[in-house]
Amino acid sequence: MTHKIPGWTGWGYNYLPGKFLSEISPTGRHKCKGDNVLMKKVLGIVISDRRLGNSEVLVKEIMSSIPGECGRELIRLTDFKIEPCKACYRCLQPHQDCAQKDDFNYLMGKIMAADALIIGVPVYILGPHGYYKMLMDRLVGVGNYIEQTRGKPCALVIPYGTIGWTGYTKAASMIMPRLLNMKIVDCWQVHATLPGESLLDSDNIEYARKLGQDLFSDREYIPGNRECCFCGSDILRLLADNRVECPICGAKGRLDHDNIPNFTDADYFRFSAHQVEEHFKGWVKEMKSRFAVEKDKLKEAQKDYRDKDWWIRP
Ligand SMILES: Cc1cc2nc3c(=O)[nH]c(=O)nc-3n(C[C@H](O)[C@H](O)[C@H](O)COP(=O)(O)O)c2cc1C
């Protein structure tokens, strides 16, 4: 059966369950009828339900400004059905997609086929919009996607409403492109509260245009000197003895004069190609084998809790 989002046209392909991962070419490009393989394809993902909100208009402005011939497609993530991960771990097997019958595999096909991603995600209650996390939680099988996404540019646009209320959004928003080993071109936090308000400041429009122009250049996001120099997280965990750890990428360093983090001795970076492979193909798989060994013991430990059936449903 072919899975198709109603009204979806343009480049890409119809997703055939269980097949697409092995069908994607090493360059991540899907050949479709009438497809110009030389043309860059840019996918915009808007993670806000607000029509013509700041995420939407800024993603559109960036996409409009990409020079040259370019294929453009937009996804409003909240229009997609993304269920919670069922922790079945099928996706840990090579070339396996997710077993769930929702829109996740289709979306990942689109992400892999794109040459660049632009993600617009607003701050909701001190973090990124919850739909983004729903999508990220489905990336246990990231090892199956990474060959198609590695090195491709990704720009992040993060509108927020109140100065001082961005919370952990910036650090959390970079996790998905980092996991996919994409090159982060920018992580732009934009102060704008009302729908489309970002457009009232011409500096924002100019910034968005420049971002679009630079998307396929060698521009890369450079973290500030109080951020993790590896992943760009602006949240750092304080350890004993003047040590510091990035909770996002796991790099450890020390605090220098005026509390500037120094990561020159760091020997671990969670998002390196090697560590992603090691964690998602090695460690998680090992847990699966351990589960097979411990299954009966676990069932025995759980059994007294089975009958405590106090669940309520809406
Ligand atoms: C439910 C909800 C929660 C929000 N929480 C925050 C917040 O914690 N911090 C903040 O700075 N802005 C917050 N905002 C404001 C939005 O980030 C801001 O309006 C943004 O421009 C929305 O982007 P959009 O127009 O693309 O939807 C919140 C807005 C909503 C609707």
Report the nearest-CA residue for atom 28 of ligand 1: 124
pLDDT at residue 35 in the model: 56
In the reported structure, the alpha carbon of residue 47 is separated from the centroid of ligand 1 by a whole-number distance in angstroms of 12
Closest CA to 168 of 133, 129, 132, 126: 126
Report the nearest-CA residue for atom 29 of ligand 1: 124
Residues sharing a CB contact under 8 Å with residue 250, sequence separation 6 or more, in sequence order: 268, 269, 270
| Residue whose CB lies within 8 A of the most ligand 1 atoms, among 52, 56, 118, 123, for a mutation test | 123
pLDDT at residue 287 in the model: 81
Q: Which residues of the chain have pLDDT under 50?
A: 1-20, 22-34
CB under 6 Å to ligand 1: residues?
48, 50, 53-55, 122-126, 159-162, 165-166, 192-193, 195
pLDDT at residue 37 in the model: 63
List the structure tokens of 300: 């025995």
In the reported structure, the alpha carbon of residue 204 is separated from the centroid of ligand 1 by a whole-number distance in angstroms of 17
pLDDT at residue 28 in the model: 43
Report the nearest-CA residue for atom 21 of ligand 1: 193
Rg from Cα positions in the chain: 21
Tens digit of each residue's pLDDT (9 = 90 or more) over 180-192? 999 999 999 999 9
pLDDT at residue 36 in the model: 61
Strand 70-76, strand 243-245: pairing: unpaired
pLDDT at residue 5 in the model: 32
Closest CA to 186 of 139, 119, 96: 119
Tens digit of each residue's pLDDT (9 = 90 or more) over 177-229? 999 999 999 999 999 999 999 999 999 999 999 999 999 999 999 999 999 99
| Residue whose CB lies within 8 A of the most ligand 1 atoms, among 160, 165, 197, for a mutation test | 160
Alpha helices in the chain (DSSP H): 20-23, 54-64, 104-113, 130-136, 146-149, 169-173, 175-179, 202-214, 273-277, 284-306
CA 281, CA 147: separation in Å to the nearest integer? 14
Contact 130/124 with Cβ under 8 angstroms? yes
pLDDT at residue 313 in the model: 95
User: For the chain, which domains are there?
Assistant: 39-221 (3.40.50.360)
pLDDT at residue 280 in the model: 82
